[in-house]
Amino acid sequence: MYVGAQSGIYAVLLFVYLSTHIRAQTVAMEDVGYFWHVADFHYDYQYSMRGDPTYYCHYWNETTAKDLGYYGDYECDSPMSLVVSAVQAMKANKPDVDFIVWTGDDAPHVPDAMVGEELMIEIIANLTQVITDIFPDTRVYPAIANHDYDPSNQLPVQTSRQYNAIADAWSGWLNHDSDAVASLRKAAYYTTVMENDVRLIVPNTNLYYTSNKVTAGMPDPAGQFDWMENTLEEAKRNNQLVWILAHIPPGHPERSHSSPWFYEEFNERYIDIISQYADIIIGQFYAHHHTDHFKVLYNDNGEPISSMLLAPAVVPWRNKYVYNAEFGANNPAVRLFKYQRSTGKLLDIMQYIMNLSEANQNNSPEWVLEYTATEAYSIDDVTTESLHELAESFKPENSENFEKYNLYCSASYDVTPCDETCKQMQMCAITNIRVSDYDACMESTTSASSRASFNTITLFITSFWFVVTIS
């Protein structure tokens, strides 16, 4: 073959390659969508700039009054100015999202006697209205939380006035699916199919919470486990992929050595179900920790099979029952996801935060991009495989990725380094969702020293209150 013919063939091959490649890129770009995840507003209708930070930032009297921030205080729940600022920041940074996911906790951390059923219904309606006003044409997929009910945490297994009120408030967003609204009325869980054909399953995981005394000892509260299994089985039969959206995740908090959020038998059954259908569950979204955290689920062979992404909170409220209590608060945060529409594959996370001190000081709420997951951590996407790789990259001492994760965990509020005990709690909570695995991890990873063991025991005692007070 002479040289001219050879060049011609190469030119044709190059043209075919480039045209295919460019076309693939174009299709991929059209296939990329975005959605917001917002969680844990904890709106306090009694927040006062003349409030007492030791008394929920409520005004008590002239002696206790302090000059607090317009956008809130790290000791307390959110004023309406912070709630509105967060949703406006979502609109300003990405108005044309495909939808929003909202994983609840609307009411403040105050005694139940200060809220009551009427006010709880009003708070949820108010926040629903704020989101609707700012995003009038965007569908929102909401999930109920432990602070969306009065008395707090005591969510029942059958229909109630409050479940009906919530279904009424959210029916505008779920108006395409009357079965979903009916299911919300029944026990505050639902399933629906999203525009891209991915099935969304939204369990009411507050039924499994150890602070819920109504469901203690029940074999299957509200028949929800059976419902989840049947819904997943049907999805599998129909070749549907699934996302799971809920407020409280299974597993353990990551900033204290603690018991799991769920009663142990519920935790294990939940994980059994997730494990059984892990091949079709391609996204799980939770909140409740108020921190930026994730969990990876492994099978018996140690292979990663599923993962859970926890969004940090809007509320800055300081949790006093964590290891580093001095830094138990967080900066307000909202999270943008990038995903592939046709497959539901999770491509990236853009985490936005507001430095609360600066916002109050400047009287201007500046929301900034804290990090983009693929760039900050050098991972391909935020799928289970990539999150497993990320967790692996945390293991070495002085892991740069872990140091970043530790900072982002509190939305860049806690800038102190994570010591051995802190890292052990983080790693065990990230990679061990079953109770026995977590306990073994906390026992065995005492690579540290007697200091770590001592701290761990002390922490376990002090952290008991963590699971009953938060979040």
Q: Which residues bind Zn ion (CB under 5 A)?
A: 40, 105, 145-146, 288, 471
Tokens of 107: 């009411």
Of the two residues 97 and 145, which places its CB atom closer to Zn ion in the complex? 145
CB nearer to Zn ion: give 421 or 471.
471
Nearer Cβ to Zn ion (40/73): 40
Q: Report in angstroms how near the CB of residue 317 gets to Zn ion at its nearest.
A: 8
**Shortest approach of Zn ion to residue 250 CB, angstroms?**
14
Q: How far is the CB of 59 from Zn ion (least distance, A)?
A: 23
- Interatomic CA distance for residues 140 and 172, integer angstroms: 9
d(CA 277, CA 228): 10
CB of 104 to Zn ion, least distance (A): 7
**Strands laid side by side in the 346-354 sheet:** 140-142, 99-102, 32-38, 333-340, 346-354, 367-372
* Beta carbon nearer to Zn ion, 40 or 254: 40
Closest CA to 208 of 141, 283, 146, 296: 146
DSSP 58-93: E---TTT-----TT--TTS-B-HHHHHHHHHHHHHH
Residue 375 beta carbon to Zn ion: minimum distance, rounded to whole angstroms = 29
Angle formed by the axes of helices 420-431 and 435-444, nearest 10°: 150
- Residue 330 or 401: the one with the smaller Cβ distance to Zn ion is 330
Residue 146 or 224 having the CB closest to Zn ion: 146
Least Å distance, CB 425 to Zn ion, is 19
Judge whether 433 and 271 are in contact, CB under 8 Å: yes
Question: For residues 424 and 440, what is the distance between their CA atoms, to the nearest angstrom?
Answer: 12
Q: Which residue is nearest to Zn ion (CB)?
A: 105
Cβ of residue 145: shortest distance to Zn ion, in angstroms?
5
> Strand ranges (DSSP E) for 218-366?
242-245, 281-286, 293-298, 304-310, 333-340, 346-354
Q: At what angle do helices 161-170 and 178-187 cross, to 10 degrees?
A: 150
User: Which two structure tokens, joined as six digits, stand for 344?
Assistant: 């539901």
Task: Give the shortest CB-178-to-Zn ion separation in angstroms.
Answer: 28
462: three-class secondary structure by DSSP: helix
250 or 344: CB nearest Zn ion: 250
Q: How deeply is 30 buried, as exposed, middle or buried, from its count of CB atoms within 10 A (0-12, 13-18, 19+)? A: exposed
Q: Which is nearer to Zn ion, 103 or 306 (CB)?
A: 103
Q: Give me the least distance between CB of 392 and Zn ion, in Å please.
A: 29
* Residue closer to Zn ion (CB basis): 79 or 344: 79
Structure tokens at 74: 């790290």
Give the whole-angstrom CA distance, residue 351 versus residue 100: 15
